[in-house]
């Protein structure tokens, strides 16, 4: 079930209304049932996979709490094997067959017709993180399997994150019966988050996607300017798509009195590539840092080992996003960026090169966006060969078509550019820690109400709808 579908707009109010009415002691059971229904709408068969991962890691955590390490190994291995089987088996088979073919071997590995379960990368990582946290003593094993089941299946963040930690979400679910859900502040702030998320998704991301898809799906017809515009718009699209989902998820949870972590912190205001990854997909970055980078040794075992660890982490990050070489290249590019940045830091220190002053912030920001955006080309391309082909096509600086022949009309361009300006202003306010609601209320009575009423109208009037419109799946559903 998609957040931007009519089904969800009916499902969500009914679930929350019942949540407010039913006895506090069974709230978690109601949300668990709602979460499984939410997931089953996509494909009922994969509910059993979710249940299996839940039961296995539930038992593993209980075993780990008894000071035994083997349940951690077994539970984590099963999760990763499940993820491998559904997401990476055919990728491995394809690459092994290429090697065998190059060796003129007659043997081939069969290709399996496998459907990738929505959200499998998110809930398997969340499950493994929980078992490791129990092993490390950060949290006690959850004895109520239904409550633990809700932790893994909580519908707002089930299929596209954020990847929640047991220290945050599970602790709240353990006390869900004590949460004061009748707080107007929670409902109001949750509603604001949802409205902003829908604005990002249906007004900006889905509109930008029209041009991006037009160019990327037939890049042979275009040159530098068209591909550059499409790639810049993809950077906006993926940010608004993913941050939009996260904000809707946080808003839904907030209305029920539950706080989910922020997954994005104005990433395109980053001053360098390290800063970017402190702002982009925060929950995945934190997961890889705590459960992979630090156990590998982090930066504690010398610079060379540190660089190797960075490459391993970003290789895994690329592979996590998709079973394809263009995702891996995207991850490796970011590893190169990180390594070059760290090496440059060492050179600056040794040569006593002064740090740029504050007036260079804009240049830092633009340079960081430029290298991030170049990497996005590999991420969005349909294949590695397409990405290389697009880079070659960018050597042609002669415009091929009018900007209005790339899928968007003049009317759409006005809406898109105006919406991107709104996005920039909102992120700029957040970057400077300016509360838009408080500022508007100081300027006029009920100012924030006017702002969010206008936002609702913008979603309704300027969202990408109409005849032939296919509800845009959130990009990160495929991961």
User: What would the pLDDT profile of 290-325 be if each residue is shown by its tens digit?
Assistant: 999 999 998 888 889 999 999 999 999 999 999 999
Identify the CA nearest to 458 among candidates 425, 427, 423: 423
Residue 232, pLDDT above cutoff 60: yes
CB 410 within 8 A of CB 416: no
Q: Residue 162: is the preceding peptide bond cis (ω within 30°)? A: yes
Contact between residue 420 and residue 236 where contact means Cβ atoms under 8 Å apart: yes
CA atoms within 13 A of residue 62's CA, in its CB half-sphere: 10
Residue 469 in this model has a pLDDT that exceeds 60: no
Catalytic annotation, residues: 321
Dihedral sign (CA 368, 371, 376, 379): negative
Among candidates 40, 74, 36, which has minimal Cα distance to 57? 74
List pLDDT tens digits, range 35-68. Answer: 999 999 988 999 999 999 999 999 999 999 887 8
Q: Is the pLDDT of residue 454 over 90?
A: no
The overall average pLDDT reported for the chain is: 90
Any idea which residue has 């229904």 for tokens? 37
> Which pLDDT belongs to residue 357?
64
Show the DSSP H helices in 323-383 as ranges: 325-351, 361-380
For residue 159, give the DSSP letter. Answer: T
Q: What is the pLDDT of residue 453?
A: 80
Does the pLDDT at position 176 exceed 80? yes
Could you report the per-residue pLDDT of 349-372, keeping only the tens digit for each?
Answer: 787 776 666 668 888 999 999 999
Tokens of 50: 């979710």
The Cα–Cα gap between 139 and 130 comes to 8
Label residue 443 by pLDDT band (50, 70, 90): low
CA distances from 250 to 137, 146, 194, 258 (A): 27, 22, 8, 8
Please check whether residue 172 is in contact with residue 151, taking contact to mean a CB–CB distance below 8 angstroms.
Answer: no
Pair of tokens at residue 135: 């092993």
Q: What CA–CA distance (Å, rounded) separates 309 from 299?
A: 8
Alpha carbons 391 and 464: distance in angstroms, whole number: 30
pTM to 2 decimal places: 0.92
Both tokens of residue 150?
């809700």
Cα–Cα distances in Å, from 284 out to 9, 162, 404?
28, 8, 37
In the chain, what percentage of residues exceed pLDDT 70? Answer: 93
434, 442 contact by CB (below 8 A)? no
Alpha-carbon Rg for the chain, nearest whole angstrom, is: 23
pLDDT at 474: 63
User: What would the two tokens of residue 269 be?
Assistant: 């205001």
Q: In 154-205, which residue ranges form alpha helices assigned H by DSSP?
A: 171-174, 184-198
For residue 51, report the phi and psi dihedrals to the nearest 5 degrees: -60, -40
The pLDDT assigned to 143 comes to 95
Checking if the pLDDT of 476 tops 70, the result is no
> Is 1 a residue whose pLDDT tops 90?
no
Q: Does residue 427 carry a pLDDT above 70?
A: yes
Summarize pLDDT for 385-422 with one digit per residue, the tens.
Answer: 999 999 999 999 998 889 999 999 999 999 999 999 99
Q: What does the angle CA 25 – CA 38 – CA 263 come to, to the nearest 5 degrees? A: 85
Residue 458 has pLDDT above 90, yes or no: no
Given a cut of 80, whether residue 221 has pLDDT beyond it is yes
> What are the pLDDT digits (tens) for 79-113?
999 999 999 998 988 888 888 888 877 777 888 88
Amino acid 468: pLDDT: 42
In this prediction, residue 2 carries a pLDDT of 81
Output the six-digit token pair for 138: 């950060």
- For residue 199, give the DSSP letter: I
CA 405 – CA 394 distance, rounded (Å): 18
pLDDT band (50, 70, 90) for residue 464: confident
d(CA 389, CA 398): 17
Q: Is 473 a residue whose pLDDT tops 70?
A: no
Q: What residue spans of 5-161 are helical by DSSP H?
A: 6-21, 27-40, 47-65, 70-83, 89-102, 120-135, 145-153
pLDDT of residue 470: 54
pLDDT at position 478 is: 60
């Amino acid at each position: 079930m998609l957040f931007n579908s009519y089904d969800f707009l009916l499902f969500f109010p009914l679930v929350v209304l019942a949540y407010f009415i039913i006895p506090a002691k069974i709230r978690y059971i109601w949300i668990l049932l709602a979460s499984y229904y939410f997931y089953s709408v996509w494909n009922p068969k994969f509910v059993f996979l979710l249940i299996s991962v839940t039961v296995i890691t539930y038992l593993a955590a209980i075993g780990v709490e008894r000071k035994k390490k083997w349940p951690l190994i077994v539970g984590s291995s099963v999760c990763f094997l499940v993820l491998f089987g559904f997401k990476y088996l055919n990728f491995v088979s394809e690459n092994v067959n290429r090697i065998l073919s190059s060796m003129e071997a007659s043997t081939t590995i069969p290709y399996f017709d496998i459907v990738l379960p929505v959200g499998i990368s998110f809930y398997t990582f969340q499950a493994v993180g929980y078992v490791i946290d129990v092993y490390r003593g950060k949290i006690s094993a959850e004895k109520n399997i239904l409550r633990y089941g809700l932790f893994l299946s909580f519908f707002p963040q089930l299929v596209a994150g954020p990847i929640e930690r047991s220290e945050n979400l599970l602790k709240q679910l353990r006390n869900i019966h004590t949460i004061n859900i009748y707080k107007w502040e929670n409902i109001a702030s949750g509603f604001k988050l949802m409205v902003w998320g829908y604005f990002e998704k249906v007004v900006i991301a889905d509109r930008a996607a029209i041009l991006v898809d037009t160019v990327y799906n037939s890049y042979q017809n275009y040159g530098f300017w068209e591909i550059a515009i499409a790639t810049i718009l993809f950077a906006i699209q993926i940010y608004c798509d993913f941050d939009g989902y996260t904000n809707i998820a946080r808003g839904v949870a907030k209305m029920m009195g539950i706080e989910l972590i922020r997954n994005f912190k104005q990433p395109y205001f980053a001053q360098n590539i390290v800063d970017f990854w402190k702002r982009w997909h925060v929950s995945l970055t934190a997961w890889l840092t705590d459960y992979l980078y630090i156990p590998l040794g982090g930066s504690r075992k010398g610079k060379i080992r540190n660089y190797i660890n960075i490459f391993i982490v970003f290789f895994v990050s690329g592979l996590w996003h998709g079973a394809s070489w263009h995702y891996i290249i995207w991850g490796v590019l970011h590893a190169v960026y990180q390594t070059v940045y760290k090496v440059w830091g060492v050179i600056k220190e040794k040569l006593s090169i002064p740090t740029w002053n504050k007036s260079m912030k804009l240049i830092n920001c633009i340079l960081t966006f430029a290298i991030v955006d170049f990497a996005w080309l590999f991420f969005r391309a349909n294949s590695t060969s397409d990405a290389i082909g697009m880079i070659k096509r960018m050597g042609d600086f002669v415009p091929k078509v009018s900007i209005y022949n790339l899928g968007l009309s003049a009317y759409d361009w006005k809406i898109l550019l105006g919406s991107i300006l709104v996005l920039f202003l909102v992120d700029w306010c957040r970057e400077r820690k300016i509360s838009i609601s408080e500022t508007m209320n100081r300027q006029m009575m009920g100012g924030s109400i006017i702002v969010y009423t206008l936002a609702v109208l913008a979603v309704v009037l300027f969202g990408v709808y109409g005849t032939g419109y296919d509800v845009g799946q959130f990009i990160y559903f495929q991961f």
